[in-house]
Chain A
Amino acid sequence: MKRVVITGIGVIAPNGVTVDQFWDNVLAGQVAIEDEPLMSQVGLKCRGVARCREFELADRWSAQEAGQLAGLGRFIQLGMTAAVDAVENSGLPRSGGDLSDGGVMFSSAVGGAPEMQDLYERLTDGGSGPIRPRLLTESVYDGIFLDYLPGMLARRYGLSGPTAALTTGCTAGLDAMGLAVELIRHGEAPFVVAGASECPLNGISYATLDVIGCLSRTDGPVHRASRPFDATRAGFVISEGAAFVVVEEAEHARSRGAHAYAEVLGFASTSNAHHMTDLAADGEPMALTVTRALRAAGVKPGAVQYVSAHGSSTPQNDLFETNAFKTVFGDYARSVPISSLKSMIGHSLASASLMALIATLGAMRRSMIPPTANYETPDPACDLDYVTSGARPASLATTLVVASGFGGIHSAAVLGEVAS
């Protein structure tokens, strides 16, 4: 079976629009959560968002390209930028090699949800009447659905391998990487650009999630609205961002002298078949998923040195995960460091798990475990080591990244260091 390494990364996050800036801020525990006035204006109870405020199309693209991207969904703008960063970071375009067998595995949970709301407003005079047909002079279709970005990326780099998009909600980013790894292992492509992009910061997205009580309703300063594993946690903070990795067959990478951030040792995904959003407190579905990922990786639970948790800051998820880790790791559960990136930048649905994966690559490279920010009040039921007082030095050879999402999906990936 072929082995697969990560040779390129790109991220556009609320706390960083370059990988180094992102890693610096993640390890500093810097929170990028802010107030969203629209939430209270429209009568919702939720609080806080995290936006990629430093992202400007004009900073990253030629005038012509920026003009083209400006007409598309914001998730495509952030996504293309992170994807191009990842591809350039991999060195593949400069390697002189033939890129034509490469593929793209994209993902998003809600795609152009804000653009869809704009469309509704345009066709109903601002929501005041029935939907009336208007002549739409440009393709709103391209900016809302998911197939445009993988096609655009393939065209830019001359990739003729598989191009597709996954829609599995809040696990989709990790799932895209997992499927990309499978493609490479089975010889379908020498490398795949895998990623996720999400921009769900619009009124209807807030409303649908707030009405079912998913979003944070915490009191106090808004920058503490996301507080995974804390006893007073009360929902997740919704955010935007994009994250991409280039996964590459190990020999292909070695032969061109590429730097590898890590090897993807194993991946697994299962469904709980229980409920679209509710989670059983015992964590069994996540325990099954992690156990399968470790088995696929050939890694014993005791060898895992860091867990990047889903840690969404909802009461049920953080307990669910904690109990899953107790099942998988047994006594070792109390010794393995666990943290949640969402404490700093909220939950960007499909892209959250790949942002967490890229943060984990930073932790491995810098030998420093990212903290869980905003943790103050211990929860007796969540009693593991959540790295709550700042980044912690540690040499990390083997790490685990997990994600859970709507639809009852759980996914996990095991990463291993690559000897240089």
Chain B
Amino acid sequence: MTGMMRRRVMLTGLGVVNASGQATEPFWQNVSAGIQRLGPISGFDARDFPVQVAGEVADFDPSRAVSRRFIVKTDRFTHFALTATADAIEDAKLELDAEDRTRVGVWFGNNTGGWDLCERGFVEYYGAGADTVNPWQATGWFLAAPQGFTTIQHGIRGPSKSFSGDRASGAAAFYYGARAVQWDGNDVVLTGGCEAPVSPLSIACFHSSGDLSEVVDPAMAYRPFDHAAAGLVVGEGGVALVLEEAGHARDRGSRAYLEVLGGAHGSAADGDPAGYLRVLRRALDDAGCAPEDIDLVFAEGCADKAGDRFEASALAAAFSGRPTPLPVTVPKCQFGHLYGAAFGTDVACAALAVRHGIAPPTPGFSDGDLPSGLEVVAAARPMRIDRVLVTSHSRYGSCVATVVARPPTDQ
């Protein structure tokens, strides 16, 4: 993306559901204070499972945002998406009746699908017989179900897509959702995603990747960039962000949280940090930013020793020569890695960090060998934050970086 003519993208509404909160305010209160919300898995009896900790959404009530007609037809991951979407639309004061609905899109990330429904389907299949499988699984479990149900619930007809890409599922959705506005495919995009990975079959499958922490103590389980890093902890939840073309946002008088300045998506499939570095540099260039312009980084922080080294060395190289160390934070270690919802939740967190002037902390970090020039935000830090870099990388090397900034009207 080059040239002066491209459309500018504003973030005007957000909705979050995860272990740290089921609405923006409680989420931010917890996250900005570094209150650890991981816990022993309660969704099923996990005592004999190799993974015992997750970030679960306690007492989640889908009926707040999901119609009764849809609750039975949909899986928990879609409930998260529909709840976050309803909140984001309300937060943005977006009146869809006043929009050209063929220029509104849904761009979601989800890695896993609806495994609650799948496990129910298997019980029916092997128990009462294949012809007794529930009629909702076909449309309820597949990975684009949240997109489909969201478009139906809100009458959204514009270009819409869903992405699966391991930890970077939601990152790809955000990146291409923002591009869909920049490239004039949509005027408004609901981006974000959802994940509901806390079921026996799903946890067994995720664990086989080797990426999950087996630490039993929730306070010690997810420790990005720390000496004691032993893998990530999965969380469940959803996120929705309203992105809209700047003129469109201005015309309807909405107050933007952030402007999406730019970003980049690339691959470091060989595991070489040079590939990640290239993506980071392209993202800064696309956003028109110099390394010293960035105040804070929301990193992937997968808490795998090699993965953290990969990310830290790319970040250190991209930001070498800064006069001050670059603050890096991984607040997802408080509520778990949300895969499809992870990146959108980080962007939501960035929006709140800019607005409130607080860098949310990484309570799982206490000590680690970071390359010089980087420092992990271990405790909440009041600071002025104008420009934030949000990064993600997947197990197989897909790397996404986005730069978001305080909107011009708020400066």
Chain A residues at the B interface, C-beta cutoff of 8 Å: 42-45, 103-104, 109-111, 116-117, 119-120, 123-124, 126-128, 130-136, 138-142, 144-148, 150-152, 154-155, 158-169, 172, 175, 179, 182, 186-188, 203-204, 206-212, 214, 268-277, 285, 288, 406-409
B164 and A276 contacting across the interface, CB-CB below 8 Å = no
A186 and B179 contacting across the interface, CB-CB below 8 Å = yes
In whole angstroms, how far apart are the Cα atoms of A2 and B133 in the complex? 49
B1 and A186 contacting across the interface, CB-CB below 8 Å = yes
A36 CB to nearest chain B CB (Å): 12
B164 and A271 contacting across the interface, CB-CB below 8 Å = no
B394 within 8 A of A: yes
B122 and A120 contacting across the interface, CB-CB below 8 Å = yes
B211 CB to nearest chain A CB (Å): 8
From A147, A165, A168, A273, contact of B152 by CB (8 A) = A273
The residues of B that contact A109 with a CB separation of less than 8 Å are 142-144
Q: A141-B208, A271-B160 are in contact. List 15 more A-B contacts (CB 8 A).
A: A123-B204, A127-B126, A132-B48, A133-B49, A138-B208, A151-B398, A152-B269, A161-B267, A163-B165, A179-B176, A187-B1, A210-B130, A211-B133, A270-B159, A408-B151
A277 and B139 contacting across the interface, CB-CB below 8 Å = yes
B131 within 8 A of A: yes
* List of 4 A-B pairs having minimum Cβ-Cβ separation, nearest first: A151-B396, A407-B148, A127-B126, A167-B143
From B119, B160, B275, contact of A131 by CB (8 A) = B119
A163 and B269 contacting across the interface, CB-CB below 8 Å = yes
Q: 7 A-B Cβ contacts within 8 A?
A: A124-B126, A133-B50, A139-B208, A141-B211, A162-B266, A211-B135, A274-B152
The residues of A that contact B383 with a CB separation of less than 8 Å are none
In whole angstroms, how far apart are the Cα atoms of A288 and B157 in the complex? 10
In whole angstroms, how far apart are the Cα atoms of A273 and B190 in the complex? 15
B205 and A407 contacting across the interface, CB-CB below 8 Å = no
In whole angstroms, how far apart are the Cα atoms of A140 and B206 in the complex? 8
B267 and A151 contacting across the interface, CB-CB below 8 Å = yes
The residues of B that contact A119 with a CB separation of less than 8 Å are 201, 204-205
A155 and B160 contacting across the interface, CB-CB below 8 Å = no
The residues of B that contact A204 with a CB separation of less than 8 Å are 118, 121-122, 125, 130, 133
B144, B156, B160 interface centre (most CB from chain A within 10 Å): B144
Given A103-B267, A163-B267, A167-B162, A141 and B206 touching (CB < 8 A)?
A: yes
B133 and A207 contacting across the interface, CB-CB below 8 Å = yes
B50 CB to nearest chain A CB (Å): 6
B266 and A167 contacting across the interface, CB-CB below 8 Å = no
A164 CB to nearest chain B CB (Å): 4
A140 CB to nearest chain B CB (Å): 5
A147 and B130 contacting across the interface, CB-CB below 8 Å = no
The residues of B that contact A271 with a CB separation of less than 8 Å are 106, 147-148, 151, 156-158, 160
B315 within 8 A of A: no
In whole angstroms, how far apart are the Cα atoms of A162 and B395 in the complex? 15
A-B pair count, CB < 8 Å, reads 255
From A144, A160, A406, contact of B266 by CB (8 A) = A160
The residues of A that contact B48 with a CB separation of less than 8 Å are 132-133
B153 CB to nearest chain A CB (Å): 9
A361 CB to nearest chain B CB (Å): 24
Given A160-B275, A167-B110, A154 and B269 touching (CB < 8 A)?
A: yes
User: CB-CB contacts of B380-404 with A at 8 A, as 1s and 0s?
Assistant: 0000000000000011111000000
A288 and B163 contacting across the interface, CB-CB below 8 Å = no
Closest to B46 in A: A133
B158 and A182 contacting across the interface, CB-CB below 8 Å = no
The residues of A that contact B147 with a CB separation of less than 8 Å are 168, 271, 407
In whole angstroms, how far apart are the Cα atoms of A276 and B147 in the complex? 10
A209 CB to nearest chain B CB (Å): 6
B395 and A406 contacting across the interface, CB-CB below 8 Å = no
B129 and A42 contacting across the interface, CB-CB below 8 Å = yes
User: CB-CB contacts of B166-205 with A at 8 A, as 1s and 0s?
Assistant: 1011001000100100010100000000000000110011
The residues of B that contact A207 with a CB separation of less than 8 Å are 121, 125, 130-131, 133
The residues of B that contact A158 with a CB separation of less than 8 Å are 270
The residues of A that contact B321 with a CB separation of less than 8 Å are none
A117 CB to nearest chain B CB (Å): 7
From A147, A203, A210, A272, contact of B166 by CB (8 A) = A147
A43 and B269 contacting across the interface, CB-CB below 8 Å = no
B342 CB to nearest chain A CB (Å): 14
B265 and A164 contacting across the interface, CB-CB below 8 Å = yes
The residues of A that contact B125 with a CB separation of less than 8 Å are 42, 127, 203-204, 207
In whole angstroms, how far apart are the Cα atoms of A141 and B266 in the complex? 22
B268 within 8 A of A: yes
Given A140-B205, A147-B396, A276-B149, A167 and B164 touching (CB < 8 A)?
A: yes
Given A147-B398, A273-B151, A406-B139, A208 and B133 touching (CB < 8 A)?
A: yes
Closest to B155 in A: A273
From B127, B152, B166, B176, contact of A276 by CB (8 A) = B152
A55 CB to nearest chain B CB (Å): 24
Given A406-B139, A408-B151, A169 and B396 touching (CB < 8 A)?
A: no
From A147, A273, A277, A406, contact of B144 by CB (8 A) = A406
In whole angstroms, how far apart are the Cα atoms of A152 and B164 in the complex? 15
Closest to B278 in A: A160
Given A127-B125, A147-B395, A274-B152, A166 and B161 touching (CB < 8 A)?
A: yes
The residues of A that contact B163 with a CB separation of less than 8 Å are 164-167
A276 and B139 contacting across the interface, CB-CB below 8 Å = yes
A364 CB to nearest chain B CB (Å): 26
The residues of A that contact B130 with a CB separation of less than 8 Å are 42-44, 203-204, 206-207, 210
A115 CB to nearest chain B CB (Å): 9
Given A165-B163, A276-B149, A141 and B209 touching (CB < 8 A)?
A: yes
B398 and A150 contacting across the interface, CB-CB below 8 Å = yes
Closest to A157 in B: B269
The residues of A that contact B398 with a CB separation of less than 8 Å are 147, 150-151, 162-164
A204 CB to nearest chain B CB (Å): 6
A168 and B161 contacting across the interface, CB-CB below 8 Å = yes
B186 CB to nearest chain A CB (Å): 11
B207 within 8 A of A: yes
In whole angstroms, how far apart are the Cα atoms of A268 and B162 in the complex? 15
B142 and A212 contacting across the interface, CB-CB below 8 Å = no
In whole angstroms, how far apart are the Cα atoms of A150 and B268 in the complex? 11
Closest to A147 in B: B166
B143 and A211 contacting across the interface, CB-CB below 8 Å = no
B240 CB to nearest chain A CB (Å): 16
B67 within 8 A of A: no
The residues of B that contact A117 with a CB separation of less than 8 Å are 122
Given A123-B201, A206-B130, A169 and B142 touching (CB < 8 A)?
A: yes
A175 and B161 contacting across the interface, CB-CB below 8 Å = yes
The residues of A that contact B266 with a CB separation of less than 8 Å are 103, 160-163
The residues of A that contact B210 with a CB separation of less than 8 Å are 139
The residues of A that contact B267 with a CB separation of less than 8 Å are 103-104, 150-151, 154, 159-163
The residues of A that contact B394 with a CB separation of less than 8 Å are 147, 151
B204 CB to nearest chain A CB (Å): 6
The residues of A that contact B158 with a CB separation of less than 8 Å are 270-271
From A45, A116, A165, contact of B165 by CB (8 A) = A165
In whole angstroms, how far apart are the Cα atoms of A115 and B1 in the complex? 40
